Structure 1
Amino acid sequence: MTEKSAPLFIKRYASRRLYNTETSDYVTLEDISGFIRDGREVQIVDLKTGDDLTRQYLLQIIAEHESRGDNVLPTDVLTDLVRSYMGGGASVVPQFLQTSFDMLREGQSKVIENVSAMNPMTKMPGFEMMQAQQEAFMKAMTGGITPGWSASEEPEPETKEEAEDLATIKKQLAELQAKLSKMS
């Protein structure tokens, strides 16, 4: 894996204009979205107060994409997110989302590594496991309804390690779903 570089530092002026300190020019939310798509981390800070505004702007970018019809988050997931903010006490949702996206990111990295080595995807070591992880993630995020996939079509793990990993993931998802159900 490559080392993470320092995030792209963006200042927000009192006029709400966003200034890219790396290129010394003003940027838009669409520019920031492009930086992120290109793999850059960003940090947006209010020049006057020093407050970190990164989360606020990332949420704004997501909201704008969703409003334009780039629907990534199903309504049920958005509803559960709102519930997690409204419920008292600590929520398991942030930890669940972080773990799920870490798994997705790790799986994508493995795919990219193997594709760059010119291996056919279907013969990649761990391909079925990664596919099972992504399907389990989608199943969990959509409340068990994943178009075009059913439990009877679940790929069989090739190794004992893959079977143990899959069992662990299933157990964790079941525990998280149980916790989420109790919170509702």
Structure 2
Amino acid sequence: MADTSAPLLIKRYASRRLYNTETSDYVTLEDIAGFIRAGREVKIVDLKSGDDLTRQYLLQIIAEHESRGETVLPIAVLNDLVRSYSTQASTVVPDFLSMSFEMLKQGQSKMMENMTAINPIAKMPGFEAMRAQQEAFIKAMTGGLGAQWSAPTDEEGAAPAKGDELDEIKRQLAELQSKLSRM
């Protein structure tokens, strides 16, 4: 059985075919997107040079979904991303995006916790079916985002304690806003 905590190694051959080293078969971009949706990290490397091509292929997966009308990124966000490559903001943007996605994930988790918390409505007939529908709706709306995102870590690489997470995120957001306002 493969170690699912380690990234799934995909090798790109000279023919541009992608090879899954765990299952010893060829995969497509859609297969790789499926692995990621299932919570698996992937690493794509060029067989000959050893270059890490993961970012390039992940961007290609996003571009294909966007071109099929499965839009997640508004035009304004795409424009801002393009602009960030030519400004000093390029050093701030990755941290800001990571924190924003983490806040979205935490909000989704909190909403699910609140739906399942003990309350009088939970005893109503049909509540479980309604809750399952709401979870499916939220998962569909967020593209199944959830536990597969990794939280920002401190300088030592450890995730902040649960009680301090929100304060840390607020502090980092304030710091980013300060940096952006100075630009």
Deviations 1:30-53 (A, max 9, x none): 000011011110000000000000
Residues 145-180 of structure 1 show CA distances to partners (whole Å, capped at 9, x for unaligned) of xxxxxxxxxxxxxxxx89xx48x73x7546545644
Partners of 1:52 and 1:38 in 2: CA distance? 22
**2:81 maps to which residue?**
81
Q: Aligned runs of 1:158-169 on 2, under 5 Å?
A: 165=166, 169=170
Contact 2:89 2:180 in 1 (8 A): no
The letter for the 2-side match of 1:50 is G
Q: What is the CA–CA distance in structure 2 between the aligned matches of 1:11 and 1:76, rounded to whole Å?
A: 35
Partner of 1:145: none
For residues 90 and 68 of structure 1, do their structure 2 counterparts lie closer, same or farther at Cα, with a shift above 3 Å needed? Answer: closer
Per the alignment, residue 54 of structure 2 pairs with 54
Give SS of 1:59's match. Answer: helix
Cα distance in 2 for residues equivalent to 1:177 and 1:89: 11
- Deviation for aligned residue 1:23: 0.5
In structure 2, do the counterparts of structure 1 residues 54 and 182 end up closer, same or farther at CA, with 3 Å as the change threshold?
Answer: same
Residues 179 and 26 of structure 1: is their aligned pair in 2 closer, same or farther, counting only changes over 3 Å?
same
TM-score by length of 1: 0.62
Aligned match of 2:21 = 21
Superposed displacement of residue 22, structure 1: 0.6
Match of 2:68 in 1: 68
Equivalent-residue separation in structure 2 for 1:72 and 1:10 (angstroms): 26
* Counterpart residue type for residue 40 of structure 1: R
- Sequence identity of aligned pairs in percent? 69
Q: Is the 8 A contact 2:8 2:43 kept in 1?
A: yes
Change (3 A) 1:175 1:104: same
Give the CA RMSD over aligned residues: 3.4
* 1-structure distance, mates of 2:13, 2:38: 25
TM-score (norm 2): 0.62
Correspondences of 1:12-161 after superposition (within 5 Å):
12-88=12-88, 90-109=90-109, 114=113, 118-119=116-117
Rate the CA distance shift 1:4–1:105 in 2: closer, same or farther, 3 A.
farther
Deviation readout 1:60-115 (Å, 9 max, x if unpaired): 00000000001101111111111110114753111100111223334445556x48
Listed as ranges, the gaps of 5+ residues in structure 1 are: 124-160
Please give the alpha-carbon distance, in whole angstroms, between the structure 1 residues aligned to 2:13 and 2:172.
44
How far off is 1:58 after superposition? 0.2
Which residue is equivalent to 2:8?
Answer: 8
